[in-house]
Structure 1
Amino acid sequence: MKEHIEMTDDELIEQSFQELITDYLSTKHRKRVEIITKAFNFANQAHKGIKRQSGEPYIMHPLAVAKIVCTEIGLGSTSICSALLHDVVEDTDYTVEDIENLFGPKIAQIVDGLTKISGGVFGDKVSAQAENFKKLLLTMSNDIRVILIKIADRLHNMRTLGSLAANKQYKIAGETLYIYAPLANRLGLHRIKTELENLSFKYEHPEEYKQIKSKLQATAAEREEQFRAFTGPIKDQLDKMGLKYQILARVKSIYSIWKKMETKHVPFEEIYDILAVRIIFEPRKEDEELNDAFDIYVSISKIYRPHPDRLRDWVSHPKANGYQALHVTLMGKDGQWIEVQIRSERMNDVAEQGFAAHWKYKDGGGGEDEGELEKWLRTIKEILDDPQPDAMDFLDTIKLNLFASEIFVFTPRGEIKTMPQNCTVLDFAFSLHSDIGKHCIGAKVNHKLVPLSHKLQSGDQVEVLTSKSQRVKPEWLTFVSTAKARSKINALLKKEQRTLQRKGETLLNEFLLAEGIRPEVVNMDKLLQAHNVASKEEFLTLIGGGKIVLADVDRNVLKSKQGTNWKKILSFSFGKDGKENKNAAANEEEPVEKINPKKILKLTDDTLQKNYVMATCCCPIPGDDVLGYLDDNGKVIIHKRQCPVAVKLKSSYGNRIIATQWEVQKNLSFLVHIYIKGIDRVGLLSDITQVISWQLNVNIRKVNIETIDGIFEGKVQLYVHDVDDVKELISKLRKISNVKEVTRVEE
């Protein structure tokens, strides 16, 4: 240990490089140690003397990324070299041409792709964020290794996130959860996806992370015994079949457990699927892999009763990311359902390493292994063809594709089409062609007439019906679920809106000219106020569409001098440089505190009342894990860290995120919503209100409880000081006889 502490930087770097070479030599790739050594020496020289935020030499980061690429994703020398060189062009004076001259065009192309998307997916401005993400997706279609190395880069950044400031941690963790984890999942990198989720959760919700981790450790021995008892008879059966296999216990990830606790509103103790079992077998013959998987399923189903609705066959129909396995849920002797995943060694490699593992098993290039990936990339390219001015819309649109599970539907001619789960007839129409989607009026599904919003099921046969008179409608966005359909509808609506705006502008100018009124900003503000419309664009659209007709009322509004707010219209110049002070009028009324995003914001009783706004989407209270978001007006809005709105803000406006810390006394009250459910009995409501009002002295705002067939459920709105009050309240309510479920909800 002492020797390790006294190691010089050079010794530490050399040791790390030797570990990389050892890992590489143990793979099945052809041994190109010389070019890896050359890339390491070049990168080491280029980054010499530069330190990371943690204090270690910068080259340790490219070395760590190269190790992940080699051992955890399973890529070869080209990718390892690219990982070692991935920051050289970005951070030093070397160019892509230099890389090409020394290492050839393929490595240079990958390094160039990585340089274009450097600095995280997102920059400081919204438009740059969308552009960077587009670049990231476009580089995937040139060489999938670019995104695989980028994911490895993000994984190492997450593993070393502790050395950064808190607001940076929230930005990077939020971005990881919103984009990188789904990307890793889509590319079949399940192990990396799970680690990215867990690390993001660890930095966003440190207390919950520690609690779940400690509960998992406390129940480990119990799970080990359950695993031993459950798998004993299975091992005996597989031995009789003469198979070579291994049986592993798979424990649900900390993030997945928390997610289930949040969505199902249950405590840790009521999560029953923490343990799953994985059987990895070696096929008896190369072409018997599929038969062996089903033989194992049949034989273990004779030992334990299978759940009739929970057989998942991804052997015959692989997922879009190449994942293959049989999933069956069996009831153990203790009455608990346990999921068993059956995979061959090849299937397991693909599940762990994703598309990279395909290259290990295919002969020569191409082949149908990457067919689904190509299909996905093609869809993304189509989305990129449509300009998306709003980064948030763009990210949401892409995210629809990242998370989609697949179903299989048929055309009238019997052709099979892969579609995302929960897709509608309209989604299917747009997947065939934009013109078919635009003119779709309905469909015949299994020969029965259905509307545009009808959700398709696996195995449906779909005949799309169209009409030339059909036009795209805004309400279509409420039921489409695919990225392509949403993107096309938005583009068509915007095109139509621009046409209406041009028409509206012509009508407005004609009206003003006829009345002898100048088209000034002040006059436009008067019209917007009179018609209660938020923006000029919306106003022109309504005029162009005939929903607003300019008349005598508008003439009177424009010629009236009342209602003009001169403070807003006039601008003032101050100081020696004579620059315009746009905030003068606002500052005259109330000074706005200057916020430094790098410092931790203290939330005190005084500042909460004066300076900050509590987000209505998630209603945070003292004790919740929260963050601040600096809006366009300089106001700080406080969100819960797991709030869906906050997740998007972290991903798209990372530079405006502020780390916050509660420092409040029990003086202020905050509204919370408590959901409660149980078996009805006489006097139950009285017991509930007595606990809330008398025992805990909490002020109730509203109670809404109803009973159906002996089961009562409802919500109580009440005022508390902080999270501790909520925990005590929930604990006491759960102790009331016949109360089965109590949890805090958003609304």
Structure 2
Amino acid sequence: MSENTFITRSEFFRLYARLYSFLRQEWDVRKVSGLKELLLHSFKKVEGQPDSEALYHLVLAMRTAVIIIDEIGLKQPAVCAVLLFHTVVEGGHSPDNIDHLIDIEVDSILKGLKKVNQFSDKKSAVESENYIKLLLSIAEDIRVVFIMIAQQLQRMRDAKEREPSHRLDLSVESTYLYAPLAHRLGLYAIKSELEDLSLKYTDREQYDFIARKLNETKRSRDRYISEFIGPVKERLDKTGLKYDIKGRTKSIHSIQNKLKKQKIEFENIYDLFAIRVILDAPPEQEKAQCWQVYSIITDMYQPNPKRLKDWLSIPKSNGYESLHITVMGPDGRWVEVQIRSKRMDEIAERGLAAHWKYKGVKGETALDNWLSSLRESLEDSDANLSQKLTDFKLDLYDEEIFVFTPKGDLFKLPKGATVLDFAFAIHSNLGAACVSGRVNGKNVPIRHVLKSGDQVAVNTSSHQTPKQDWLSFAVTSKARAKIRQLLKEEAGKQVDIAKETLSRRMRNRKIEVDEPRLMQLIKKLRYKTVTEFYVDIASEKIDVNWVIDRYLELENKESENRESHATVSAGEFTLKTPSPEISGSDELIIDQNLTGVDYKLAKCCNPIFGDDIFGFVSSQGIKIHRVNCPNAHDLFSRFGYRILKARWSGKTSSSSYTIVLRVIGNDQLNIVANLMSIISKEEGVQMRSITIDSNDGLFQGNIAVMLGDTSMLDQLIKKLRAVKGVKSVSRLN
């Protein structure tokens, strides 16, 4: 049970002092006193019980509360709700004398937390019910999701002491749900930490490699930053501007993404850091001073005009404001420079919660628009979970474009948005009747992809109705949800017509309809739903008389089977046992005798017995991947709801698995023969193939072997590394 839950008196009072110091600022004295007594009472009950459930909730509540204060910037009602929820609702303490603590704000947050946590003990956060409840809670009170992100961050920080399967669950949740949400809400520091910890828990070898490389290159990186900053500081000091300037290294996760996407070596990454200039400027002078700094830097260093990102003129939806430029620094290296004010920097680090500090809770209209769009996408109760999640994910990480109406009104849309998305953004009725558009004075089809700065007009027709293929190019959740709703309404009308047509034709042929048999026919014709069947009849894709003929054939076949079916006595009857399925705990156990579950070992990482693994539900069945598979992060972040926990059964394997070893060493006499000799003598290991390339005194080779499990593999690698002249031996994915 312990999740780093043991808390000493000194740590409790350190957390207690921080919370008390914050709560007594601008808050009701009676409420502060009530929470103070609650915390002391809670700790007194659990002190000395390191494995108790109540202690776990107390520790998690206090540490989460500190995160939402120091790293997010929420106010006292949110802190109160966190402490009450975990110590009273989940911690099992008596709720006596706490009514005075629960005002309208606290009650709203508590309701959201209860909704989200209702299924937390039964399901992973990325599985259906809990996921949808979290999204609904966001739509009702945005502070709920801030608290959930803070709690997830604390759990990830504590997870280093937990078992691998628990860390995998948390990492999938973080990568798929919480990191994108943190990004969408402007919590960039928390987003980066969640992603870094996910990489650390799922691919520790790669995480340590990048961390080690960053440490090794720190001195030269710091020297380069100083060389770049020095002349800039001299020029800025002469202006009289108040500023701070520093270098900031990329996160380990973002470096890993660059290594994977660009397929380059670490040494070839030149944008490991960005220079940040933070101005202490009054609000009315912020933009002017930012552009003044831009002018100074671009006078000194050659700018790349294609890499200019102006979020001063039009901030991001999550409130982010900054000016990003890329310039050619010393030694011909491109360097990104971010220019912003202290206010902008606080919003960039702490997200929308910091934005409220300056503009009030209702000040972020773009967020209100996003939440409205989210509500609309969740309204369709008939849409499946996968579709809802796909639409939701489309709106999370996407970059934004800015387009204008003919009158000059500005609309923000995700990158890749079409004329159709623009029409639905203005009004659902306009989208439904859209037939084409005019972009910058030119006629374009509704699937035309818009670019920032486009001026867009929508052409409509009273005869236009939504088409199924619209879903293939509409990208906003609002457009897709409305299109599905309209298609469903139209399909409902068509279904009624088709049902009446089929029923009338059967009556004309004096056929009595048996509903179970009709359902059996629909299934036999490979229709997923009854609605699809009737829609095809209405659109004349299938002929009604042909359907009736197939119905009669099925009826005749059933009659023949009944007549020829032999009677079996009770004594001869044996009950067939069902094939084993995935266990109720949603954990796939891989062993030799597993039947009834269609699974395969993924080719991209070739897992073997003993590897930490997970299952991925694909259209071709369940694929078993290693936790540190090169594709794991992409699967976690895009399809977290398809991830299954999995493990090998037993202590040893009776199967053999093929893996490939990459060997690099000095090209010296007999070294390859020595390697082959070791492999041939190793019990339970068989050589499959070997390819060797030699160049400039070095050899590189791939050796394919068959073996039983990771312990055999580790032992073989250890022996091969000990061969004189061998520089490295690694397992290829």
- Calculate the TM-score normalised by the size of structure 2: 0.78
Aligned residue number for residue 679 of structure 1: none
Distance in structure 1 (CA, Å) of the matches to 2:294 and 2:98 = 52
Aligned residue number for residue 599 of structure 2: 613
The answer to which structure, 1 or 2, has the higher relative contact order (CA under 8 A, 6+ apart) is 1
Matched, 1:344 2:341: yes
Matched, 1:542 2:546: no
Give the CA deviation at 1:55: 10
The gaps in structure 1 that reach 5 residues or longer are: 673-694, 700-717, 729-742
Indicate the SS of the match to 2:248: strand
Contact 1:188 1:352 in 2 (8 A): yes
Matched, 1:104 2:90: no
Distance in structure 2 (CA, Å) of the matches to 1:419 and 1:626 = 39
628, 631, 656: which one aligns with 2:615: 628
Give the CA deviation at 1:404: 3.0
Aligned residue number for residue 137 of structure 1: 138
Please list, as runs of the form range in 1=range in 2, the aligned pairs for 1:524-535 lying within 5 A after superposition: 524-526=519-521, 528-529=523-524, 531-535=525-529
The worse-fitting range, judged by mean Cα deviation, of 261-270 and 249-258 is 261-270
Aligned residue number for residue 316 of structure 1: 313
Indicate the SS of the match to 2:412: strand
Distance in structure 1 (CA, Å) of the matches to 2:528 and 2:101 = 58
Aligned residue number for residue 379 of structure 1: 373
Contact 2:617 2:642 in 1 (8 A): no
Give the CA deviation at 1:534: 4.4
Contact 1:614 1:638 in 2 (8 A): yes
Q: Deviations over 1:410-452 (max 9, x none)?
A: 1112222222222100000111111111111010111100001
Contact 1:165 1:598 in 2 (8 A): no
Aligned residue number for residue 554 of structure 1: 550
Identity of aligned residues (%): 32
Letter in 2 for 1:136: S
Letter in 2 for 1:516: I
Please list, as runs of the form range in 1=range in 2, the aligned pairs for 1:147-296 lying within 5 A after superposition: 147-283=145-281, 285-296=282-293
The worse-fitting range, judged by mean Cα deviation, of 405-414 and 440-449 is 405-414
Give the CA deviation at 1:505: 3.6
Matched, 1:472 2:457: no
The gaps in structure 2 that reach 5 residues or longer are: 662-686, 692-702, 718-730
Contact 2:420 2:446 in 1 (8 A): yes
Aligned residue number for residue 302 of structure 1: 299
Give the CA deviation at 1:129: 3.3
Indicate the SS of the match to 2:356: helix
Aligned residue number for residue 419 of structure 1: 413
Contact 1:602 1:663 in 2 (8 A): no
Give the CA deviation at 1:209: 2.0
Distance in structure 1 (CA, Å) of the matches to 2:162 and 2:506 = 57
Matched, 1:70 2:66: no
Aligned residues: 657
Indicate the SS of the match to 1:496: helix
CA RMSD of aligned residues (A): 4.3
Indicate the SS of the match to 2:364: helix
Letter in 2 for 1:647: F
Contact 2:601 2:607 in 1 (8 A): no
Letter in 1 for 2:115: K
Indicate the SS of the match to 1:87: helix
Give the CA deviation at 1:335: 1.4
Distance in structure 1 (CA, Å) of the matches to 2:18 and 2:446 = 58
Give the CA deviation at 1:544: 2.9
Contact 1:123 1:129 in 2 (8 A): no
627, 643, 646: which one aligns with 1:658: 646
Aligned residue number for residue 429 of structure 1: 423
Give the CA deviation at 1:520: 4.8
Q: Deviations over 1:388-408 (max 9, x none)?
A: 531221122122222232222
Distance in structure 1 (CA, Å) of the matches to 2:229 and 2:595 = 59
Please list, as runs of the form range in 1=range in 2, the aligned pairs for 1:449-464 lying within 5 A after superposition: 449-464=443-458
In 2 relative to 1, CA 384–445 (structure 1 residues): closer, same or farther, beyond 3 Å?
same
Give the CA deviation at 1:105: 3.0
Distance in structure 2 (CA, Å) of the matches to 1:456 and 1:296 = 32
Give the CA deviation at 1:472: 0.9
Distance in structure 1 (CA, Å) of the matches to 2:658 and 2:391 = 39
Matched, 1:30 2:26: yes
Contact 2:580 2:594 in 1 (8 A): no
Distance in structure 2 (CA, Å) of the matches to 1:209 and 1:631 = 28
Give the CA deviation at 1:482: 0.7
Indicate the SS of the match to 2:430: helix
Give the CA deviation at 1:11: 4.7
Aligned residue number for residue 592 of structure 1: 580
Letter in 1 for 2:514: P
In 2 relative to 1, CA 230–408 (structure 1 residues): closer, same or farther, beyond 3 Å?
same
Aligned residue number for residue 680 of structure 2: none
In 2 relative to 1, CA 620–350 (structure 1 residues): closer, same or farther, beyond 3 Å?
same
Matched, 1:87 2:86: yes
